[in-house]
């Protein structure tokens, strides 16, 4: 068994090395490469640090596609166009490793294990980020998968840094989120054994009692995965990198880039289309979100830090080093301001996919949210779906409203609670950025969700998710004006109907 000293590079020359020089000739292994963070990380390394020796991406083969075919499909996506234009040669050094984080040994063949034995840097970002996933699935991917890749990392004889991507909300049962591992009521080894032994339904029944105060299976499994990493602190050069709610990019690979509607991005985009007119969130809440490119830049620096700076190395620590990639509470933007700016932007640049006039509000009251959702969203969706069905179309708005309702339910705790967060270690990464690297790396420590960022984010959602033009045409503006009139006409009719109903009730009770 190797000790941590066998893996750690700790010489004076390295401390003087730029991050660009550090990545020269490195062999990098990335899990979760097809995910939001994974794609952005691969793109940034290909474009800004092309002198790496090899890059291996763990990809799960599908029924109709091999891992190599999935890699090619991934690299053909629009996010990599800038990298392809600027550094086309770097694409020749990227290779697929067939595997599956749900399986023992990640289902990596002996031949492929031989290919990755000289890997020097591991970024483990693979995770099932769905909050509603069954406990067994979450344990297998988020917890046991972490243990399996750590065991594989022990065979990497030249390993310098193992970066485990976790979530800022792995300890949501605490009032303050510190940059350290906190005790957990469950043991990770026992939890894996339970998942391997019990059936899924039994596990789901046990979840509430077994998981302490965790609101969902994702945060529970990610919390335990940090304990797995911590138990390897004397064996491998590990570091835990927690991220807040990741949103669209500021400018890399392009302004407003995103590839999914998970989290707050989904709520804001559906609101701009008039699909979401209320949210179960306190208007005074401050969302701890971080741009995708800032997250990736921090990951790249953290691998360098784990090797070059004793403050981030694990060989001299009683616990694994933890970085909270987030912003301090005092710098966060209140939700009411984001909603106000969002309404202005929806008016300035309406989308051709707009279903109804955007507007509405947020509330911390579930009763208030439910009533507004029922009459302001669901009733309208039913009415429009009936109209679509009469036109022989395929109704989908009611189905979409169910998803929006559930999204509000699972995000409420994360978007309404104001946790105190500690991020001093994370912020200290900025001191490691050399003059040579400043044009490549930026943690954006002064970031704020301003109107410009929202504008780019909404445009990115239109371009990369909905595949529609970002500029409003004359017909789109006309549509917006018509929906404006219809919205207030509907409100007036609804008000008259309510007055009539109340009048009838009062008349019936009195006479």
Question: Helices marked H in 329-430 — which ranges?
Answer: 335-348, 366-373, 379-390, 397-416, 424-427
State CA 173 to chain mean position distance.
20
Alpha-carbon distance of 320 to 313, in angstroms, equals 8
Instruction: Give residue 282's pLDDT.
Output: 80
Among 332, 349, 325, 330, residue whose Cα is nearest residue 288? 332
Q: How far is 74 from 360, CA to CA, in rounded Å?
A: 38
What is the fold, at CATH topology level, of the domain defined by 4-258+289-329+419-448?
Rossmann fold (3.40.50)
pLDDT along the chain (511 residues), means of 10: 47 68 94 92 95 95 91 92 93 94 93 94 91 89 95 94 93 85 88 90 82 83 93 92 91 88 74 81 82 94 87 71 85 78 79 79 84 83 80 77 82 76 90 88 86 85 80 80 85 84 80 67
User: Which contacts (CB < 8 Å, 24+ apart) does range 359-362 have?
Assistant: 359/274, 359/277, 359/487, 360/271, 360/276, 360/277, 360/278, 360/279, 361/278, 361/279, 361/283, 362/278, 362/279, 362/280, 362/281, 362/282, 362/283, 362/335, 362/336
Tokens read off for 509 = 């009770």
Question: What CA–CA distance (Å, rounded) separates 38 from 123?
Answer: 9
Both tokens assigned to 211 = 């998981």
User: Could you give the C-alpha distances from 290 to 39, 40, 243, 383, in angstroms and in order?
Assistant: 16, 14, 8, 38
> Where in the chain are the domains?
4-258+289-329+419-448, 335-418+458-510
pLDDT at 511: 67
pLDDT of residue 1: 44
Q: Return d(Cα 129, Cα 127) in angstroms, integer.
A: 6
The per-residue b/e assignment along 443-470, b for 16 or more CB within 10 angstroms, e otherwise, is: bbeebebeeebbbbbbbbbbbbeeeeeb
Predicted TM-score (pTM) of this structure:
0.88
pLDDT, residue 372, reads 84
Residue 288 CB neighbour total at 10 angstroms = 24
d(CA 308, CA 195): 39
């Amino acid at each position: 068994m190797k000790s941590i000293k066998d893996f750690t590079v700790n010489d004076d020359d390295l401390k003087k090395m730029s991050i660009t020089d550090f990545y020269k000739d490195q062999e990098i292994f990335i899990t979760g490469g097809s995910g939001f963070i994974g794609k952005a990380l691969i793109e940034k390394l290909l474009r800004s640090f092309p002198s790496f020796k090899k890059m291996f991406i763990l990809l799960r083969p599908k029924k109709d596609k091999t891992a190599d075919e999935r890699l090619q499909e991934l690299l053909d996506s629009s996010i990599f166009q800038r990298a392809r234009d600027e550094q086309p040669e770097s694409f020749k050094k990227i290779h697929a490793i067939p595997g599956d984080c749900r399986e023992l040994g990640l289902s990596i063949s002996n031949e492929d294990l031989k290919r990755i034995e000289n890997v020097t840097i591991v970024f483990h970002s693979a995770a099932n980020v769905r909050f509603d996933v069954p406990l067994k699935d979450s344990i297998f991917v988020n917890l046991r998968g972490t243990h399996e890749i750590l065991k594989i990392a022990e065979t990497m004889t030249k390993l310098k840094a193992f970066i485990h991507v976790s979530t800022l909300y792995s300890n949501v049962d605490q009032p303050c989120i510190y940059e350290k591992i906190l005790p957990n009521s469950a043991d990770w080894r026992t939890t894996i054994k339970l998942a391997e032994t019990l059936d899924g339904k039994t596990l789901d029944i046990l979840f509430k009692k077994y998981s302490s105060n965790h609101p969902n299976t994702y945060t529970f499994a990610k919390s335990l995965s940090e304990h797995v990493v911590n138990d390897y602190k004397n064996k491998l050069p590990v570091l835990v990198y927690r991220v807040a709610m990741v949103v669209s990019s500021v400018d890399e690979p392009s302004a407003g880039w995103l590839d999914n509607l998970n989290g707050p991005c989904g709520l804001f985009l559906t609101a701009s289309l008039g699909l979401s007119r209320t949210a179960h969130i306190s208007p005074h809440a401050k969302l701890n979100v971080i741009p995708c490119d800032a997250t990736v830049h921090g990951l790249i620096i953290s691998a360098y830090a784990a090797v070059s700076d004793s403050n981030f190395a694990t060989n001299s620590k009683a616990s694994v080093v933890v970085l909270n990639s987030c912003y301090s509470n005092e710098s966060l933007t209140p939700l009411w301001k984001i909603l106000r700016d969002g309404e202005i932007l929806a008016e300035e640049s309406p989308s051709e996919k707009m279903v109804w006039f955007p507007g509405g509000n947020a509330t911390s009251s579930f009763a208030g949210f439910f009533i507004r959702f029922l009459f302001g969203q669901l009733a309208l969706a039913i009415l429009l779906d009936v109209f679509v069905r009469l036109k022989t179309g395929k109704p989908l708005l009611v189905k979409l409203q169910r998803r929006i309702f559930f999204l509000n339910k699972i995000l409420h705790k994360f978007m309404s609670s104001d946790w105190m967060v500690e991020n001093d270690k994370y912020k200290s990464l900025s001191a490691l950025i050399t003059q040579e690297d400043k044009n490549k790396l930026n943690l954006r420590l002064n970031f704020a969700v301003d109107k410009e960022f929202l504008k780019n984010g909404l445009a990115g959602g239109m371009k990369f998710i909905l595949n529609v033009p970002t500029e409003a045409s004359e017909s789109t503006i006309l549509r917006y004006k018509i929906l404006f009139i219809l919205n207030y006409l509907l409100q007036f009719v609804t008000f008259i109907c309510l007055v009539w109903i109340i009048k009838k009730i009062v008349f019936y009770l009195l006479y």
